[in-house]
Amino acid sequence: MSSEAYRTVTETNARIDEVRDGMRILWDVTITMDDGLPLAADVFLPEQPGQYPVLISYGPYAKGLPFQEGYPTAWEALSSSHPDVAEGSSCAYQNWEVVDPEKWVPHGYAVARVDSRGCGRSPGYIEHFSARETADYVACIEWAADQPWSTGKVGTSGVSYFGMNQWQVASERPRGLAAVCIWEGASDFYRDASHHGGILSTFWEHWYDKQIKVVQYGLGDRGPVNPITGLNVCGDETLSDDQLAANRSDFGAIIRSHPLLDDWYRERSGVLENIEVPLLSAGNWGGSGLHLRGNVEGFLRAGSAQKWLEMHGLEHWTTYYTDYGRQIQLAFFDHFLKGVDNGWDQRPPVSLLVRSPGEVYEERAASAWPLPETAWQRLELDPVRLDLVEKGGAEAGSVEFSGEQDVTFRLPVSDADREVSGPVSAKLFVSTDSDDADIFLTVRLFDSEGKEVTFAGAVDPNAPISMGWLRLSHRELDEAASTEWRPIHPHSRTLPVEAGTVYEVDVEVWPTCIVVPAGHTLAVTIGGRDYENPELKDAVTMSNFKNAMKGCGPFLHDDPIDRPAQRYATRVRVHCGGEHRSSILLPFQER
């Protein structure tokens, strides 16, 4: 059917309405919010008139900016290493962190992409993850459910930002929302994203400069052009720098001004217990710093009666687009948006890609998280041999670290493969020469020659196994919410720290999964700074991040206001053995 004939069936307010590449595309559809603001959306439909379930996304990265143009280094890595991503697609409609319509429309789905307020072709004031943004997303979902080309069933899908805001919007229970697929998205904006263990991450300030200001509405003729439509990616208005600045919040400065977990963060985290719709939460083993903890916590805490957790590896822009990830998403949405009896409801609640060195993965299903068969083992830190030893085996004494010096404890080498999969936590007894201290804990792997083995992280190509952080003044525990394997800190106030006093602290280390081959050894490094791979000679740089990738990716804790050297570069002692049994709890699995 021609574009003109289809238009008589379904009237739209699209800027451009055309049929191409096997799809009917409505470019720049207007969705009006309750305050009168017009948001811009692109909608991709099957050529055949009808009603289809809708996959929708709402976010700031500009719907008209091709993946290849906006994120060239990520696209090159993705397309060259995973040819299945491009197979069957022209890739002309690929966008950063959302579905490729050419892979979904042929399966009978409508795909809607909405530029969030103030970004791309949507005017307005930028205020990320705010209640205003969440209300906009609710309105967009309900709009999609009401369209004549919609069955009334809407699913949300996307990676990172497009995953994070799903926790928020799902907890509002919008009409028409029937399923959510949250792929690598933080669910707790304070603990997962802005402050790790109470320590400020500078990621968001740099992200704002590199990924948001460059696609702000009002760049107009100064911004990129959609190569398909010829429309300005960032709106038809061309505003001055002063006008642009007036239309956005200073995200980094606002985060810095909220050092404790308050209502500002709660507004940006959603109420997980309010979520009712079927949920697929997919996390990344290499996502320490943003793309891991939230997916596990979201799965555990969501109120949904039907919920699933999937855990994988590789870069955070990879698995979502590969056949592996897309087929999982397709089965999930086919079942809940189309009613297909494909056995999804019989799928085990937890599925893992168990990780081995060399980016080797083995699929495993489980009935719960943590895995029910976990053999928990608490190993003490021996300050003399610098080993991880069984209970009661550590010598009494202490070791020191500082902003420049770390200390590493190793598990004895085994002649058989061992697996560590699950949450990790540490109980430390520490004292400091200052009035506060920051603890950085890194779980690492070394081969038989003592060389560190790293992995493809969600962002950094040379990441360690896992990380944990804690500011000593944030040591207070939420006793009701905490478990031995997952300490939770309220971060609602700071506790005093006196120089020389020994404090017992519990450090949450983000979940992990690693097969430790025979002859290799697991190690725990404790220090006062971000991990850097000591053997890395040429750090990778990427088009969308400011810093070079040295092990932590862009998730650094180097803000001079939050971490003044005179406070956080001083000596800290870890007390071990005797009455101060510093230890780490590891989740071993049978092999």
Given a cut of 60, whether residue 11 has pLDDT beyond it is: no
pLDDT digits (tens, 9 = 90+) for 348-403: 999 999 999 999 999 999 999 999 999 999 999 999 999 999 999 999 999 999 98
pLDDT score, position 9? 37
Of the pLDDT bands very low, low, confident and very high (cuts 50, 70, 90), residue 2 is very low
pLDDT score, position 3? 41
Of the pLDDT bands very low, low, confident and very high (cuts 50, 70, 90), residue 541 is confident
pLDDT score, position 547? 87
Residues 446 and 340 placed together within one structural domain of the fold? no
Residues 423 and 480 placed together within one structural domain of the fold? yes
Residues 343 and 425 placed together within one structural domain of the fold? no
Of the pLDDT bands very low, low, confident and very high (cuts 50, 70, 90), residue 546 is confident
Token pair belonging to 4: 């003109």
Residues 171 and 114 placed together within one structural domain of the fold? yes
With H, G, I as helix, E, B as strand and everything else as coil, classify residue 535: coil
pLDDT score, position 217? 98
CATH number at residue 37: 3.40.50.1820
Given a cut of 70, whether residue 7 has pLDDT beyond it is: no
pLDDT score, position 12? 67
335 domain-assigned: yes
Residues 333 and 225 placed together within one structural domain of the fold? yes
pLDDT digits (tens, 9 = 90+) for 206-255: 999 999 999 999 999 999 999 999 999 999 999 999 999 999 999 999 99
Residues 471 and 323 placed together within one structural domain of the fold? no
Model pTM?
0.95
Of the pLDDT bands very low, low, confident and very high (cuts 50, 70, 90), residue 545 is confident
303 domain-assigned: no
Max distance between CA atoms of the chain, in angstroms, equals 83
pLDDT score, position 145? 98
pLDDT digits (tens, 9 = 90+) for 67-114: 999 999 999 999 999 999 999 999 999 999 999 999 999 999 999 999
Of the pLDDT bands very low, low, confident and very high (cuts 50, 70, 90), residue 566 is confident
The DSSP element (H or E) to which 24 belongs, if any, is strand 23-32
Residues 340 and 441 placed together within one structural domain of the fold? no
Arithmetic mean of pLDDT, 481-489: 97
294 domain-assigned: no
Given a cut of 50, whether residue 6 has pLDDT beyond it is: no
Q: Residue 53: phi, psi to the nearest 5?
A: -65, 150
**Helix ranges restricted to H, 180-291:** 203-207, 241-246, 251-256, 263-267
Residues 329 and 381 placed together within one structural domain of the fold? no
Of the pLDDT bands very low, low, confident and very high (cuts 50, 70, 90), residue 536 is confident
CATH number at residue 584: 2.60.120.260
Arithmetic mean of pLDDT, 339-354: 98
pLDDT score, position 579? 95
504 domain-assigned: yes
Total structural domains within the chain: 2
Amino acid at 66: P
Residues 30 and 164 placed together within one structural domain of the fold? yes
Arithmetic mean of pLDDT, 450-479: 96
115 domain-assigned: yes
With H, G, I as helix, E, B as strand and everything else as coil, classify residue 494: coil
**Helix ranges restricted to H, 302-406:** 323-338
Residues 254 and 402 placed together within one structural domain of the fold? no
282 domain-assigned: no
pLDDT digits (tens, 9 = 90+) for 38-50: 999 999 999 999 9
Residue 41 belongs to what domain range?
A: 3-183+199-258+317-347
Given a cut of 60, whether residue 162 has pLDDT beyond it is: yes
193 domain-assigned: no
With H, G, I as helix, E, B as strand and everything else as coil, classify residue 60: coil
Average pLDDT for the chain: 95
322 domain-assigned: yes
Cis before 348? omega within 30: no
Cα separation of 39 and 516, whole Å?
50
pLDDT score, position 445? 97
Residues 485 and 402 placed together within one structural domain of the fold? yes
Given a cut of 90, whether residue 57 has pLDDT beyond it is: yes
DSSP state of 429: E
Residues 519 and 432 placed together within one structural domain of the fold? yes
